[in-house]
Amino acid sequence: MRAPVLQIDDLTIGFGSTAVVRGVSLDLHAGRVQGLAGESGSGKTVTAMSVLGLLPRTATVTGSIRLGDVDLLGLRRRSLSAVRGRRVAMVFQDPSASLHPQLTIGHQLTDHVRRHLKLDKAGARSRAVELLTRVRVPNPENALGRYPHQFSGGQRQRIAIAIALACDPEVLLADEPTTALDVTVQAGILHLLRDLAIERNLAVLLVTHDLGVMSAIADDVAVMRHGLIVESGTREQIFLEPTHEYTRALLAAMPDSAPAVRAAGADASAPDFPDEEGPS
């Protein structure tokens, strides 16, 4: 395999005296979807957010996140802005929160494009239409003049993806991109993400707790728990031959995981599983 596009090395993130990510190392390769699985509180979202410096100032972050030869953790605000949206883009769980409710989507798309790619008005507009067509938003010309609330949840997420891809980034971070969507709508978004990854040679980090989604589009999977990666490997390895107790227990809890895994996992005794915090 060629050199990784993004290398996360020994990433440790803490809030106050609590460490939420402990020594995480992960590589993203062009054209491949790297999955980061785990339950709530595992630290997977915090990991993704740290790549683009989206954590609160109170967070202490050590380790390195290298994009090519640049360490993103060492960048100052202005340099980070040049990376955000341009070389590394992100798609979030709630499309309503990532689209400005009072600006037309045409505005949101073209503004982004013009700022990073220095296109003129007409050029930006035609690029916007091109992007909307690619993400299969119906009537793209028309759509430019409409507002987010006039679209369905699935369409809004497609628009968010279009914005993310506007400047041809090398890396796409997707944090629970389909969790808020209905299952029939989710299917379409999953197809879109996988196709785009291949088409544009994107390195994709897919963060999700949904193992079904993970199994559908991830090439490699890392399982996180309490800030640590407990197991990682290819999709087949993780889903068909899991070695760590936690992974086995997770898969055993899913009614439609591979039958052999489910049977084997039924005996797996992770000491405090299901993972519920006790009363204080």
Partner 1 sequence: MIRRRRIPIPRAWLTPLAVIGVVIALAWVLIAVTAPLWIPYAPNAQVLPRLQPPGIDTLMGTDSVGRDVFSRLMTGASVTIPLALTLVAVSLTIGTTLGAVAGYFGGWVDEVLMRITDLVMAFPTVILAMVIAASLGPSLFNAVLAAIVVSWPAYARVSRSLVLSLRQQNYVIAGRLLGFSPVRSLLTDILPNIAGPVVVLATLDVGTAILLLSGLSFLGLGAQPPTAEWGSMISSAIQNFDAWWIGVFPGLAILTVVLAFNFIGDSLRDILDPVSGGAREAAAAIPVVPGQPTAREAVV
Partner 2 sequence: MSALLTIDDLVVEYPGRVTVRAVDGIELSIMPGEVLALVGESGCGKSSTARAVVGMERPQSGSVRYRGDAVPPLGLRRRPHRFTAMQMVFQDPNSSLNPRKRVGAQINDGIAAATARGAAGSTPGEWIEAVGLDSSLLDRFPHQFSGGQRQRIAIARALAARPDLIVADEPISALDASSQAAVAGLMRRLCLDAGAGMLFISHDLSVVRVIADRTAVMYRGKIVESGRSETIWSDPIHPYTQALLSAIPHPDGRGILPAAPDLEAPAAWSTLMPEALDRS
Binding string to partner 1 for residues 20 to 39, with x set by CB under 8 A, is what?
x-x-----------------
CA 128 – CA 278 distance, rounded (Å): 49
| Amino acid identity for residue 250 in this structure | L
Q: Which is nearer to partner 2, 166 or 223 (CB)?
A: 223
**Runs of H (alpha helix) within 29-94:** 44-51, 77-83
Rg of the chain on CA atoms, in Å: 19
Among 86, 107, 226, 262, binds partner 1 (CB under 8 A): 226
CB of 183 to partner 2, least distance (A): 5
Whole-angstrom distance, CA of residue 157 vs CA of residue 185? 10
Taking CB under 8 A as the binding criterion, the range among 77-85, 111-119, 197-205, 214-222 that sits at the site for partner 2 is 214-222
Is residue 214 near partner 2 by the rule CB under 8 A? yes
* Residue choice 1, 17, 120, 122 for contact with partner 1 (CB under 8 A): 17
Q: How far apart, in Å, are the Cα atoms of 158 and each of 38, 91, 104, 258? A: 25, 10, 15, 31
- 40-59: contacts with partner 2 (CB under 8 A): 40
Q: Single out the residue of 73, 213, 224, 268 in contact with partner 2 (rule: CB under 8 A).
A: 213
- Identify the residue among 101, 255, 259, 271 touching partner 1 (CB under 8 A): 271
φ, ψ of residue 67 in degrees (nearest 5): -105, 100
Contact between 12 and partner 1 per CB under 8 A:
yes
Query: Which of 222, 166, 169, 163 has its CA nearest to residue 197?
Result: 169
Residues that bind partner 2 (CB under 8 A): 39-40, 152-155, 182-188, 190-191, 194, 209-219, 235-236, 238-240, 249-251, 253-258, 273-280
